[in-house]
Amino acid sequence: MLRSMYSGIGAMRNFQTKLDVIGNNIANVNTYGFKKGRTIFKDLVSQQIAGASGPTANRGGVNPKQVGLGSQLAAIDTVHTQGSLQTTGRPLDLAISGDGFFVLGDANGSNLVYTRTGNFYLDSGDDDYRYIVSADGRYLLNTSGERIGIPKTAQSISIGADGTVSYVNASGQLQTAGTIQLAKFPNNDGLEKAGDNLFRQTANSGTATTGAPGANGTGTIVAGTLEMSNVDLAEEFTEMIVAQRGFQANTRIITTSDEILQELVNLKK
């Protein structure tokens, strides 16, 4: 069977994966804190027809003769560039200007996950306090790895650029409820997407360095804003056209290889 036919089949699978990634990017163009994906290809293997030889006293060197056998998927990257900030005016809408992730977890500080999505809320809490939570109920943790509680008698709440959560108590005095914790990783690209706009630490992301906003190379908090998706529609549609044409070109390779095989079959009649 012709090598070109198998090369075309493999390339079609790769371009299908590329279209899957592009489709996911476009589907999340309005998802707050979303980080787009990128597909990278590399060549597969090459069949050796003839090896290289070095120069001699009478002849020069000869280059190797090789036939490539197609392409393969090299990587699907997550591009962690900063998205633009959209002003909402809501005090519990938070964005990170710079590097870092919000740290979310259970009530006891376990099952940690990380996110760039900053639409937070106050739950009903317990008898005395209400707690800052994400849209799916995970607690936003402070620099001590604990929940951030706001007394039910508090009149208002504000969050500073350094992550300090303040509120006005029933007596009209300004009090501090804690400082929001941000996490920074040696390799953001190594994080695993866990759905719900969440990331998990992996062996290749490195261990998180945590602290207050602005410390350890993390960004600062911008209250009253949300970080938009970093998907560029113009770029995604251009990549879609490239992937579509690449897919079509490889289907033509298969069609042409099939026609050649048909001619070989028809040699004997």
Contact 139, 123 (CB under 8 A): no
3 state SS of 60: coil
Cα gap 132→92, rounded to integer Å? 8
Contact criterion met (CB below 8 Å) for 190 and 205: yes
What distance lies between CA 229 and its chain's CA centroid?
10
Q: Which residues of 80-114 are buried (b: 16+ CB within 10 A; e: fewer)?
A: bebbeeeebeeebbbbbbebbbbbbbeeeeeebbb
> In the predicted model, is pLDDT for residue 244 greater than 90?
yes
Q: Specify the range with the lowest mean pLDDT, choosing from 89-98, 203-212, 238-247, 250-259.
A: 250-259
The Cα 138–Cα 109 span in angstroms is 10
Q: Residues 107-134: what's their mean pLDDT?
A: 92
Paired tokens of 75 = 């990587």
Q: Which residue has the tokens 């953001």?
A: 188
Cα(192)–Cα(206) distance, integer angstroms: 12
Is the per-residue pLDDT at 269 higher than 80?
Answer: no
Looking at residue 23, its pLDDT comes to: 96
Q: Predicted confidence band at 114 (pLDDT cuts at 50, 70, 90)?
A: very high
Q: What is the mean pLDDT of residues 83-98?
A: 95
Nearest to 175 by CA among 191, 197, 158, 194: 158
What's the pLDDT band for 111 if we cut at 50, 70, 90?
A: very high
Exposure class string for 196-216: b at 16+ Cβ within 10 A, else e: ebbbebeeebeebebbbbbbe
Q: Dihedral (C-alpha) 183, 202, 31, 89: value to the nearest 10 degrees?
A: -10
DSSP string, 63-130: --EEEE--EEEEEEEE--PPPPEEE---TTBEEEESS-EEEEE-TTS-S-EEES--B-EE---SSSEE
d(CA 174, CA 168): 5
Residue 147 CA, distance from chain mean position:
27
> How would you classify residue 17: left for phi > 0, otherwise alpha for psi between -120 and 50, otherwise beta?
alpha
Q: Which pair of structure tokens corresponds to residue 191?
A: 């994080």
Q: What is the pLDDT of residue 112?
A: 95
What is the model's pLDDT at position 1? 58
pLDDT tens track for 44-82: 888 888 989 999 888 899 999 988 888 899 999 999 999
268 DSSP assignment: -
pLDDT category, 264, cuts 50, 70, 90? confident
